[in-house]
Structure 1
Amino acid sequence: MVKRKSHKGNYCPSARSLDVIGDWWSLLIVRDAFDGLTRFGEFQKSLGIAKNILASRLRTLTERGILEAVPADGGARQEYRLTPMGRDLFPVMVALRQFGERHLFAPGEKHSRLVERATGKDVRIGIHTEDGRPIGPDEALIIKIADTDSP
């Protein structure tokens, strides 16, 4: 197996974010946590993931501050809850969902929906400038850090 390269010291925020989140199993665990799942067995049933892989991903998400493990029912079992850092992944999850809705379903094909609890209206996100104007990829620029700028 190829050893995964760490991006912890990378100047790119996307690379550092992916270093913390890990892999697609981890994103699916985060998705399920947003859906209210908290217990190991609930995640395992929802994802159909092997127990050893799930245990590893939950441990990693907890160590990296995305989830926190809290005692459940005063016993030896624990629940996994999103931390404030984990909750900050909400727009990422919505963006992935919108990408899938737009590109991975046939017109009229049924799929789950993300709606506002109070109104039942669909949730949408967009990318905006600091002053609120919508912006697309052709109007955005990443200003990279040169190697000579490193601390």
Structure 2
Amino acid sequence: MADTPTASAQRTEQEWRDILSTEEYHVLREAGTERPFSGEYENDPTVGVYTCRACGAELFRSETKFDAACGWPSFYAPLAEDRVRYIKDTTMGMERVEVRCAACDSHMGHVFGGEGFPTPTDLRYCINSISLRLTPDASA
């Protein structure tokens, strides 16, 4: 688990505002959440790699994506544990675990455990579509 973003992906907040749309900035840099069932990747069956929309770091693979019917893309594991970092989140009157890109510290979503999904990890990485970019696997 990474503790801080890499120097190559650090930018000033003004630089982030210059390269991200208003909606992307709100979710990625201000830990916002897109409306449920509004994102482009929730039900996308494309095989490939999901990267951070802000910096391009590879975070998730489509093979770990599953339908949690929650309104956001769900994964049961990141590509590797050093690709994401976790932060205790006590906003909204509950305790959750925020998931951020380890490379640039952008907000991805939250991870939940113990929900009973039939996945190898019993974890649900509930990730905002707007935080991701899908690169299709050319060999698929």
TM-score scaled by length of structure 2: 0.26
TM-score scaled by length of structure 1: 0.24
Question: Between Structure 1 and Structure 2, which shows a larger proportion of helix residues?
Answer: 1
Larger radius of gyration: 1
Question: Between Structure 1 and Structure 2, which shows a larger proportion of strand residues?
Answer: 2
